[in-house]
Amino acid sequence: MLNDALKNNIQGAYRKFLAEKDLKPRHGQKQMIAVLARTLANIKTDSDDNRMGSDPYVALVEAGTGTGKTLSYLLSVIPIAKSHDKRIIISTATVALQEQIVLKDLPDVYANSGLEFSFALAKGRRRYMCPVNLQLAISPSQNEQSMFLFEDEIDLQTDKAMLPVLEDLAQAFDGNDWSGDLDDWPDDLSDEVRTTVTTDQHHCSGRKCPMYNKCPFFEARQTLDKSDVIVANHDLVLSDLSLGGGYVLPSPEETIYVFDEGHHLPTKAINHFSSQAGLLESRLWHKQLDRVLARIPQNFDDRRVDEFCRVIPVIHSELGEYIQHNYDLLEHSQGLPREELRDSEHERAIARIRFDLGRVPEELREQGAQIKLTYNRLLIQYNKLLAVVDDLIEDSEKAVSPELEQLQSWLSMVINEVERRQTLWVRFCAVPEEGELPVARWIDVTEYNHQVDYQINTSPIMASEDLKRFLWSRCFGAVVTSATLTALGKFDRYKTSAGLFDNAVCEQVMSPFNWQSAQLVVPNLRSLPNQEQQHSEDIALRLPELTKNDKGSLLLFSSRRQLQNVMTLVPSTYREKCLIQGEMSKQELMKRHKQRVDLGLPSVLVGLASLAEGVDLPGEYCTHVMIARIPFAVPDDPVGKTLSEWLESRKINPFFHISVADASVKLVQACGRLLRSETDTGRITLMDRRIVTQRYGQALINSLPPYSLVIE
């Protein structure tokens, strides 16, 4: 309940912070603090402080640039969480924002608000060294765990060029001179080194790993148990939730979540809850398991272990037959819709078989059902074997042998992977109930080392049901905030895609910026974007004149093909002013752009969607944003196509429901690169006449801030 004591605590912290920093209150900050306080402080709880009832407990706040939303949610959520004895997880989409919150915002609030709290940064396994993998990389043949290595791993020699780096890592870690956090290593580590010495959740055996007590990842987790505020990222939060919650992070029931950059959450969730595995790759994996299982009885004199090591390969063999039959069906089938991808940007896929509305043909589905049931039997057997090993360890009167601990660890990793593959086939074969959302299902035909494989894929078309199940129905409370949560001025699109309940509180907090200080110009080009070559020529012709008085400008394209085309058409003297995304890292791109502007030289940043978001170029670094076309996304991926088909089956126009709505969000983000402070001014040039000639154009204009509109 938002009683006087809690209200005074929040207001007092805000006043003290402003006084200590010599700042003036902002209307948007006060509005956002009030919304969050009313929503979260009035959550009804039972005697054990568990959330109860159907009152609002999730707040969506679209906070315009310059609002100061981070300060708003910290000063309101921290006192409320402490009053309920709950923890806070702040989740972001980018490392840059994570670092800003941990290194700047939280210390600032702690030092100047009078609030007492502790905080820590949570990172995924790939940001920490795995002691087992590092040891194996340095000396796989001598390693005690080599019995549980697959043969291809034994034969794979570590690149000799990496060995000095790996040995330095091991020496520093063993000497307690380095924590194992890869971000703390003083030198740059190559992607190859990082991949070699890290692991993921599917190959981590957790507490059953013989080196668990030395693991940097789990050691870092102990700090989280003592922290009031944990800063994480969307991927880590979703990963923990899918494991049941409370595995790495606090349980949802004990947590108030703050999703900053929350507009990314639905897409992240779709990617997270997708599944894939190759048929040929699966057969090879089972054969590798058989080779390990054949070696186990030589090291363990136990009849039960010996029996399982004979039974499990029989199930592997059955699985191999079913998978081979599935492979043959795909190899020889003439009736499946096959799209060639050889000339696309896919790295390994040469073709794709996608099923309309995710409906898998009966013969494939029946064969897949056999694979699903066999994986279920396999999982039962592996779990029984692990239970036997657990009993042997528990009943051991002497010190537990390293081999037994290693077998326990290996089995845990294998079970994780079997569960993942079983889940794939459950999803691939499922027939949706009436009214249920379809699941996107497709098969990528891949080619590697002259071998063709068929990768089975499933993905939700929206993350709504998964987020409802794992997050919204369980969490104590939540805040979702971003500068772009609405589409065409409404929260409906976001609420639907994120699976939020109707009682979610929605609030728009306007930016303090003077939008009239910026012009939105629609030039009178002779072509439209669907006239691709002519449109590119028109842009190239106009660019020198458009930017002749600009110091720093930003040119955004929706497709790499048009970007490259325009850059070949502009005069060479203009091309010299351009810094193009892809020719160097994003960090280097920003650095060189700012250096040029600081020297008084004109500089044009040229890029794609990733430069339309999260890029901060205040003042003269960007006084002109040029957008080649309205950023409509073409739903040519399997998930987008299946979603479009489902909408059409319900007599809903996918173009207006998806394409126009999503384009409005992207357009707001792109235009938002211009004004980054209250003193900024400049122009936005949208080189797409459709915004004034098509009937959806006015809706897009209405969704933008009230810039001064100039139509040539």
State yes or no: pLDDT of 405 exceeds 90. Answer: no
Q: What is the DSSP letter of 487?
A: B
CA dihedral 146, 150, 152, 157 (to 10 degrees): -20
Q: At what angle do helices 4-21 and 27-41 cross, to 10 degrees?
A: 150
Question: What pLDDT, on the 0 to 100 scale, is given for residue 482?
Answer: 95
Show the CA angle centred on residue 174, arms to residues 171 and 180, nearest 5°. Answer: 90
3-state secondary structure of 477: strand
* Alpha-carbon gap, residue 59 to 53, rounded angstroms: 16
Cβ count within 10 A of residue 712: 10
* Alpha-carbon gap, residue 251 to 478, rounded angstroms: 13
Of 72 and 392, the one with more pLDDT: 72
Segment 489-547, tens digit of pLDDT: 999 999 999 999 999 999 999 988 889 899 999 999 989 999 999 999 999 999 999 99
Burial of 83-108, coded b for 16+ CB within 10 Å and e otherwise, reads bbebbbbbbbbeeebbebbbeebbeb
Exposed/middle/buried for 604, CB within 10 Å: 0-12, 13-18, 19+? buried
Q: What is the mean pLDDT of the chain?
A: 90
Segment 608-660, tens digit of pLDDT: 988 988 788 999 999 999 999 999 987 778 999 999 999 999 999 999 999 99
Which stretch of 202-206, 395-399, 565-569, 669-673 has the lowest confidence by average pLDDT?
A: 395-399
State yes or no: pLDDT of 9 exceeds 80. Answer: yes
Q: Point out which residues pair with 508 in neighbouring strands.
A: 62
What's the average model confidence in pLDDT over 317-333?
Answer: 93
Which stretch of 115-124, 200-209, 413-422 has the lowest confidence by average pLDDT?
A: 200-209
**DSSP string across 188-251:** ---HHHHHHH---TTS--GGGSTTGGG-HHHHHHHHHTT-SEEEEEHHHHHHHHHTTSSSSSPP
pTM score, whole prediction: 0.88
Of 396 and 15, the one with more pLDDT: 15
What's the average model confidence in pLDDT over 289-294?
Answer: 91
- The answer as to CATH 3.40.50.300 being correct for domain 4-118+227-270+464-509 is yes
Segment 132-183, tens digit of pLDDT: 888 878 875 544 445 555 544 444 455 677 888 888 999 999 999 999 998 8
Task: Show Cβ contacts of residue 167 under 8 Å, excluding neighbours closer than 6 positions.
Answer: 138
Q: Which tokens belong to 696? A: 């959806």
* Alpha-carbon gap, residue 177 to 159, rounded angstroms: 25
Q: Under a CB-based contact definition with an 8 Å cutoff, are residues 147 and 403 in contact?
A: yes
* Alpha-carbon gap, residue 87 to 226, rounded angstroms: 10
Q: Under a CB-based contact definition with an 8 Å cutoff, are residues 417 and 275 in contact?
A: no
% of the chain exceeding 90 in pLDDT: 68
Segment 172-214, tens digit of pLDDT: 999 999 999 988 898 888 888 888 888 887 778 777 787 888 8
Q: Smallest Cα–Cα separation from 233: which of 182, 272, 192, 181?
A: 272
Mapped to the 3 state alphabet, what secondary structure does 88-149 carry?
Answer: EEEEECCHHHHHHHHHHHHHHHHHHCCCCCCEEECCCHHHECCHHHHHHHHCCCCCHHHHHC
What is the CATH superfamily name and number for domain 515-711?
A: P-loop containing nucleotide triphosphate hydrolases (3.40.50.300)
Q: For residue 548, what are the CA distances in angstroms to 191, 227, 417, 551, 592?
A: 41, 53, 58, 9, 19
Segment 326-347, tens digit of pLDDT: 999 999 887 888 888 865 555 5
* Alpha-carbon gap, residue 64 to 665, rounded angstroms: 13
Segment 29-39, tens digit of pLDDT: 999 999 999 99
Question: What pLDDT, on the 0 to 100 scale, is given for residue 158?
Answer: 54
Task: Show Cβ contacts of residue 403 under 8 Å, excluding neighbours closer than 6 positions.
Answer: 144, 147, 299, 300
Question: What pLDDT, on the 0 to 100 scale, is given for residue 28?
Answer: 93
Question: What pLDDT, on the 0 to 100 scale, is given for residue 154?
Answer: 42
Segment 226-248, tens digit of pLDDT: 899 999 999 999 989 988 888 88
The helix (H) or strand (E) run that includes residue 531 is: none
